[in-house]
């Protein structure tokens, strides 16, 4: 597998050091010459694959994944991933609204693609900036509800998310297809880290830059309990949890 970070509108040239990374069991780099050979031999590869499938033998396929900035045309694909993911399934959040927010926020966010198809994404959106959006407002309400069973944590979240005087909290949003290689995850996280640092220093206008300088990041996790465990804990068989990580995101 090879991952390539495409030229990013939001990245200075020096941040392109992560432009290409190769992941796999052998960690061997694929050269340009090999790429050309692969292109010229596509038809023979397909024929070999058909023969291998007929013989019941395994065939190794090389797939190149690219990391790109979010774009408006990604909206329906992001919506599809969110609609089938754990966040919207567990909370009833509006996948369409969240997808539009993710796809239209070019400053922070990474789309993972292969052969033009979206395989996954990783982003962080400001809960304060988008609190008037019904899809985000529902999640803010959830964080202040008894779905967060830890009372002190719930009170702390309520303070952080207060309409006035609260902190700038970012909600991590991430979904991917089940067959997306897990080796891509560290590269996607590193890409998000670079995005956050770039946005905190360069996003325009200033209000946009301030909204993307997060003090806290929150990740909502869906936890499923079996019936017996739920009865013993006084739950109803399922609950949502919230985890947060503190610290500024100024590229450090």
188: Cβ contacts below 8 Å, ≥ 6 apart: 67, 110, 112, 120, 122, 174
Q: What is the mean pLDDT of residues 210-221?
A: 90
Q: What is the mean pLDDT of residues 69-92?
A: 93
Distance CA 111, CA 104 (A): 12
Q: Coil, strand, or helix at residue 128?
A: coil
Angle, helices 134-143 vs 95-103, to 10°: value is 110
Mean pLDDT of the residues in the chain: 76
- The count of other CB atoms within 10 Å of the CB of residue 68 is 19
Q: Model's pTM, two decimal places? A: 0.69
pLDDT tens digits, 34-60: 444 445 455 555 665 565 555 666 667
Q: Does the structure show a pLDDT above 60 at 90? A: yes
Structure tokens at 250: 């100024």
Give the model's confidence band at 96: pLDDT under 50 very low, under 70 low, under 90 confident, else very high.
very high
Q: Out of 1-10, 19-28, 53-62, which region has the weakest mean confidence (pLDDT)? A: 19-28
Q: Does the structure show a pLDDT above 80 at 94? A: yes
Q: Does the structure show a pLDDT above 50 at 16? A: no
pLDDT tens digits, 133-143: 999 999 998 88
More confident position, 166 or 173: 173
pLDDT tens digits, 116-139: 899 999 999 999 999 899 999 999
* pLDDT attached to residue 99: 96
* pLDDT attached to residue 247: 45
Angle, helices 75-83 vs 95-103, to 10°: value is 140
More confident position, 170 or 248: 170
* pLDDT attached to residue 224: 76
More confident position, 15 or 224: 224
pLDDT tens digits, 176-192: 999 888 889 999 999 99
Q: Out of 3-7, 15-19, 180-184, which region has the weakest mean confidence (pLDDT)? A: 15-19
């Amino acid at each position: 597998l090879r991952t390539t970070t495409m030229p990013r509108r939001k990245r200075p040239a020096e941040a392109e050091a992560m432009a290409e990374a190769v992941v796999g069991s052998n960690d061997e780099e694929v050269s340009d010459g090999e790429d050309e050979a692969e292109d010229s031999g596509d038809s023979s590869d397909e024929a070999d694959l058909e023969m291998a499938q007929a013989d019941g033998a395994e065939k190794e396929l090389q797939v190149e994944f690219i990391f790109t900035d979010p774009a408006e045309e990604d909206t329906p694909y992001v919506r599809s991933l969110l609609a089938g993911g754990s966040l919207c399934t567990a909370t009833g959040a509006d996948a369409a609204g969240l997808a539009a927010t993710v796809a239209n926020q070019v400053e922070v966010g990474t789309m993972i693609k292969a052969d033009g198809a979206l395989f996954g994404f990783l982003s962080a959106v400001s809960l304060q900036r988008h609190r008037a959006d019904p899809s985000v407002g529902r999640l803010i309400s959830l964080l202040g509800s008894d779905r967060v069973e830890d009372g002190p944590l719930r009170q702390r979240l309520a303070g952080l998310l207060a309409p006035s005087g609260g902190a700038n909290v970012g909600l991590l949003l991430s979904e991917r297809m089940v067959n997306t290689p897990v080796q891509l995850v560290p590269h996607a996280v590193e890409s998000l880290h670079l995005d956050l640092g770039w946005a905190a220093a360069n996003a325009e206008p200033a209000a946009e830059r301030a909204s993307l300088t997060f003090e806290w990041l929150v990740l909502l996790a869906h936890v499923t309990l079996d019936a017996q465990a739920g009865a013993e804990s006084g739950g109803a068989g399922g609950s949502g949890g919230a985890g947060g990580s503190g610290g500024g995101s100024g590229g450090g």
